[in-house]
Amino acid sequence: MTDLARPDRAEVLEMLAAFGQRAVEDLPDELGSLELTWLIAEFEQRYGIEPDLDDEAFEAVRTVDDAVAVFRAAVRAAQDDATTAGAARP
């Protein structure tokens, strides 16, 4: 079962640091669109979950904390879906 507190800020910063091979302490809190796109791809690869982001939601993600919130919501939604699917089994 996936930890609902994941990914945490430290993990998102670790993923972001790999983009451009930067040190975590050198990362800005603000995210550019390329950084966010890359982060989403990394999240999908690590977690096997695709966050439900329409254009408006994508544009609303401006900071590392925003990304953490979106990714945690995706983990919660996937967990809820798995729980519901398990409960529906005979």
For the chain, domain boundaries: 9-88
Tokens read off for 45: 């690869």
Alpha carbon distance 75, 69 (integer Å): 10
Residues lower than pLDDT 50 in the chain: 1-2
Supply the pLDDT for residue 89: 54
Candidates 1.10.10.10, 3.30.1330.50, 1.10.1200.10, 2.40.70.10; correct CATH number of 9-88?
1.10.1200.10
Residue 80 has a pLDDT of 82
pLDDT of residue 2: 47
Question: What are 81's strand-pairing partners?
Answer: none
Q: Which neighbouring-strand residues pair with 30? A: 63
Its pTM stands at 0.84
| Amino acid 86: pLDDT | 61
What is the model's pLDDT at position 38? 95
- Give the pLDDT score at 60: 95
Integer-rounded Cα Rg, in Å, for the chain is: 14
